[in-house]
Structure 1
Amino acid sequence: MHDTREDIPRSGPLAGVDVTTTVAATTMVIAFILFTVLMPDTAQATYTSIKNFITQRLGWYYIATVNLVLLAAVVLILSPWGGIRLGRDEDRPEFKWFSWFAMLFSASVGTGLMFFSIAEPLTHMQGNPFQRMAGIEAGSLASGEQALQITLFHWGLHGWAIYILIGAMLGYFSYRRGLPLTIRSAFYPLLGRHIYGPLGHAIDLLAIFATLFGTATTLGLGVAQMNAGLNQLFGLSISTTHQVVLVVIVSVLATLSVVSGLKKGIRLLSEWNIHLSMILFAFFIIAGPTLFLLTTFGKTIGGYLLHMIPMGLWVNTDPSDQWQSWWTLFYWGWWLSWGPFVGMFIARISYGRTIRQVLLGGMAASLLAAGAWIAIFGGTALHLQFFAGVDLANLASKDLASVLFHTIDSVAGGALGTTMIGMATLMIITWFVTSADSGTLVICTILSRGEAHPPQLQRVFWGLFLGATSAVLLVAGGLQALQTAAIASALPFSVVLLLMCFCLFKALIEDGRSPSPKRYASSQQ
């Protein structure tokens, strides 16, 4: 059993892809959609039971897994292994730092931060376990400052360690050891040539499932916020029909982007996202409470770093308190379910960098960027709440999707406010397009067994299939089903991830910083 690619068709609709994995993935997704649409009551009960079981019985396991992944990332950064290059020792990075980070950040969290950076801290300040443990009064300014730190905890190093460690692992096994750029390749030290058999297919299928439904979940959040922005701008009513239309538009744009390739569509859109974000940051800082925001940034980063470990290790023991299930466990499941997708994309753009550069550069830059985003956006909302008499907290409790646009309008009304709301709406679209096109590229890369340039036909099919999946489940009221699928797929993948960490350290010990490391693939040709 070896990977000669002789079994991959060279013509027809499945040209260039693994037939078994492609047919199985397509069938699996269609079966999930049909079950959700044709048996909605049974599906709802099933998804609710799965979600409740995971959050009530396995919360401690999710928390332990995420902490172990962060520890593994720190060990690699501090160890001599961090100097190993993802490629030959003489290779150098394919992309400059700005382009690399822009693509990394755009594919990972842009849409989510647009949705949660204001809504989440406004929600946390109204009550959470850490607030009660610290004796902070709910609804006070101190509770708001703590809420920003909790929000950054959910968007900070624990989550980024998942994405970037997977990226470093896959980059190592592909570029250093000569294996295909797929999730299954990380298991070569454990499974050997059996990664090309049924076990390898199962691992890649799980990665595809998590990628598809994790991206579709984000699309559900993204179109709700797009609809809210268009409602604010043009009075477009908030409805499922309009959100389905938005899903179609975004899916077509994402498909066009992924067809144009990594160095053109995805890179250019990612850099565009960062530039637009800087403009919106500048708007909040200049038109808003400048000194307050700068101070808030320092407090948020400092408070987060001070409390990161106790927050990360805390496990809820009160069955009547659902806060950790609603927030932390949902986030850890979401980060884990997106791990295969974002990790593979990070590996794809990290050729030529060292393990330390990928881990330390990616985690540090992402923490600072997320911290600035949350402090500026969320800090502006807090200032309006406590010093300008704008009750955004009440709005957040009713409509999470609209609170960003009300914040912008409260900072500056008139033409400037309208312009900024329009730009924010455009940002939501472009942020999601870069997530969707990156997800599509990753799925096609897996299906083509690690090809850097998957077949165009497959890129079009999976780009549109992603949108169709989101639209069908949105119409069927299936957003909760999507969220549950994302969380549930994180459970088996968490086991996969821990085994991947074991395999990586096993391979690194074999490598021993040798200038000519053993290339597993050489025995497969």
Structure 2
Amino acid sequence: MRSKTGLFKNLNPTVTIASKVLVIGFVLFCGVMAEQAGAIFQDVSTAVLNNVKWFYLGLVSTVLFFLLYLMVSRFGHIRLGQDDEKPAFNLFSWISMMFSGGMGIGLIFWSVAEPMLHYSENPFTQGMSDESASMAMRLAFFHWGLHPWATFIIVALALAYFSYRKGLPLTLRSILYPFIGERIYGPIGHVIDILTVAITALGVSNSLGMGVIQMNSGLNNVFRLDISIGVQLTMIGVIMFFAIASVMSGVGRGIRRLSEWNMILSIIIVVIVMAIGPTRYILNTLLESTGDYGNNLIGMSLWSDANGDTGWQNWWTAFYWPWWMLWAPFVGMFIARISRGRTIRELIGGALIVPTLVTFLWMSVFGGSALFVEQEARHSHQKAISEELISPDTAFEGGPILQATQEETTLALFTLFDALDSGLMGTILSILAVLLLATYFITSADSGTLVLCMLDSAGNSEPPQAIRVLWGVIIACIAGALLYAGGLETIQTASIIAGFPIALFILMMTISLHRTLRREPIAAAMLPPQVRPDDEEIDHTSGRLDEPKRSSMQN
């Protein structure tokens, strides 16, 4: 499976070469024929969302409730490694790396922009009202809460279990072992890893390209730096330089330290906003929205707009779910890489529940503050009408944050800071936000690069340094080329299409994981004797799969 000598030493040459050819070919197509490719992908993605929305909604909800079941079941105490193995990282480092590699970047902007857009318009309430403010937070919690993390954790759990518990490679192909056995080392396994590499590379590159556009907007807002392709390409180069340096230093040093810095800086920004913002409103919003989310979780999870079919869900929920699934192989593999030695209960509880609660806090602080500003603007408008200062026919078009969000979503956060404090503190918050954006982009890029290198090296958790540098350069070049040629939106549209085969794979890994867990001797021993599996069906060892045991798993 690995080349022993030459240029491809310790690498899988089939995956290494084929994945790069596929990625470069696709990028050239999207860059040279951006308009035609965009039209094709738009038509296909619309057809996919219209026809298989029910599958996306049902699958993600099923995965979530399956994980919650595993957490509280007899399988929860199974360790992802040897029975006496200790976790590789402490709790703070582990959660910091998960959050940085998962969705830290998106939350910085969408924690303000998404509640604003839902506040303005949603299919459940009248826009720009008290009811729409509550609904805005419920929808934002839903789209960034348990469901997206469930898609990441199912991949992480399956990979960690089959690799650390069963001795298989830390790649997506290993999840199919219960179905196809040794054939995972052949063409089927190669195809899976090649597609995983291609999807991950394009996803990381697209996020890097879109991210520097957002950072450029922030720097323009704070320092009046020109918004130009030259500035954005320079930013890509700088970010990838630090990302390569981080990934070369390894998970235990560069990635861990940057992730911890991200978490500390995030806490500082949250504390400042809590101090200068509407503290009472934020805390009330956090409590009320969390309860509202819990009360409506099942209904929101299964709502498909069957009668109205307004199209709103295709723009939001049904768009988000395949987008999160597209990121699941990359984020899941990274979480698996840092979760060795933890139990299934620890992984699900720590990687599903804790990040969700952190997300709720972040959303409440920033989204809640923005809603407070907007509500105050609406009340002022109503007061002006009642005092006959303006005509009753004068429509309320939103406060400063909503108007900025509708103009350009990247301005939402910085407009909030200006609204909270138009002086020195607002400027400091904007500078800290730009710095946090940069470090989050670096950690996303270096964790993505590490995953790509692991896939090229057949699951080796410490891939060769040369391939780390190569992938870092390739990602930077792809992002720059797409940015220059205008192909970023084309890649984003194509990503929704790629979410469908990943959804099928997530369904298979859920079945594969449950099937194999039932044969675990520790879990089987907790059953009454009359309902335990037959002795020959139980895997009595937790170490590397030898040939007889592999055959038994295949049956």
- TM more than 0.5: yes
Residue 97 of structure 2 aligns with which residue?
103
Match of residue 126, structure 1, among 106, 120, 126: 120
CA 1:167 to 1:296, structure 2 compared with 1: closer, same or farther past 3 Å?
same
Deviations 1:309-362 (A, max 9, x none): 111111133687232111112211111001111111111111110001100121
Q: Write the distance in 1 (CA, Å) between the matches of 2:374 and 2:208.
A: 29
Paired residue secondary structure (1:80): coil
Residue 373 of structure 1 aligns with which residue?
362
Residue 44 of structure 2 aligns with an amino acid whose one-letter code is I
Paired residue secondary structure (1:454): coil
8 Å Cα contact 1:214/1:334 also seen in 2: no
How much has 1:283 moved relative to structure 2?
1.0
How much has 1:520 moved relative to structure 2?
5.5
8 Å Cα contact 1:216/1:482 also seen in 2: no
Residue 472 of structure 1 aligns with which residue?
481
Deviations 1:149-202 (A, max 9, x none): 101100111111111121111111011001111111111111100000111111
Note if 1:153 corresponds to 2:142. yes
Note if 1:33 corresponds to 2:27. yes
Residue 15 of structure 1 aligns with which residue?
9
Residue 346 of structure 2 aligns with which residue?
357
CA 1:320 to 1:312, structure 2 compared with 1: closer, same or farther past 3 Å?
closer
Deviations 1:61-103 (A, max 9, x none): 1111111211221221121011100011111111111100000
Paired residue secondary structure (1:352): coil
Residue 239 of structure 1 aligns with which residue?
228
Residue 201 of structure 1 aligns with which residue?
190
How much has 1:266 moved relative to structure 2?
0.3
Paired residue secondary structure (1:58): helix
Q: Write the distance in 2 (CA, Å) between the matches of 1:56 and 1:319.
A: 13
Q: How does 1:475-486 map to 2 (within 5 A)?
A: 475-486=484-495
The alignment's TM-score, normalised by the length of structure 1, stands at 0.95
Residue 449 of structure 2 aligns with which residue?
440
8 Å Cα contact 2:100/2:443 also seen in 1: yes
Q: How does 1:23-172 map to 2 (within 5 A)?
A: 23-129=17-123, 131=124, 136-172=125-161
Q: Which moved more, 1:380-389 or 1:170-179?
A: 380-389
Match of residue 386, structure 1, among 375, 378, 391: 375
Q: Write the distance in 2 (CA, Å) between the matches of 1:150 and 1:318.
A: 20
Q: How does 1:334-345 map to 2 (within 5 A)?
A: 334-345=323-334
How much has 1:255 moved relative to structure 2?
1.3
Q: Which moved more, 1:43-52 or 1:23-32?
A: 43-52
Q: Which moved more, 1:203-212 or 1:158-167?
A: 203-212
Q: Write the distance in 2 (CA, Å) between the matches of 1:9 and 1:327.
A: 48
8 Å Cα contact 2:219/2:434 also seen in 1: yes
Note if 1:495 corresponds to 2:519. no
Match of residue 330, structure 1, among 307, 319, 322: 319
Residue 467 of structure 2 aligns with which residue?
458
Unaligned runs of 5+ in 2: 381-398, 524-538, 551-555
8 Å Cα contact 2:175/2:512 also seen in 1: yes
The alignment's TM-score, normalised by the length of structure 2, stands at 0.90
Q: Which has the larger radius of gyration?
A: 2
8 Å Cα contact 1:229/1:421 also seen in 2: yes
How much has 1:148 moved relative to structure 2?
1.1
Count of paired positions: 514
8 Å Cα contact 2:216/2:227 also seen in 1: yes
8 Å Cα contact 2:60/2:321 also seen in 1: yes
Match of residue 439, structure 2, among 426, 430, 444: 430
Match of residue 403, structure 1, among 380, 402, 412: 412
Deviations 1:216-249 (A, max 9, x none): 3322332122111100121112233322322222
8 Å Cα contact 1:209/1:489 also seen in 2: no
Deviations 1:276-332 (A, max 9, x none): 001110111000111111111111111111112111111133687232111112211
Deviations 1:407-448 (A, max 9, x none): 112111222221111110010111111111111101111110
Q: How does 1:212-227 map to 2 (within 5 A)?
A: 212-227=201-216
Residue 275 of structure 1 aligns with an amino acid whose one-letter code is I
Identity of aligned residues (%): 40
How much has 1:275 moved relative to structure 2?
0.4
Q: Which moved more, 1:283-292 or 1:199-208?
A: 199-208
Note if 1:275 corresponds to 2:264. yes
How much has 1:252 moved relative to structure 2?
1.8
CA-based RMSD: 1.7
Residue 517 of structure 1 aligns with which residue?
541
Deviations 1:96-154 (A, max 9, x none): 1110000001100000101200000100111112x2xxxx3211132112101101100
8 Å Cα contact 1:56/1:319 also seen in 2: no
How much has 1:397 moved relative to structure 2?
1.1
Q: Which moved more, 1:321-330 or 1:350-359?
A: 321-330
CA 1:466 to 1:276, structure 2 compared with 1: closer, same or farther past 3 Å?
same
Paired residue secondary structure (2:88): coil
8 Å Cα contact 1:111/1:218 also seen in 2: no
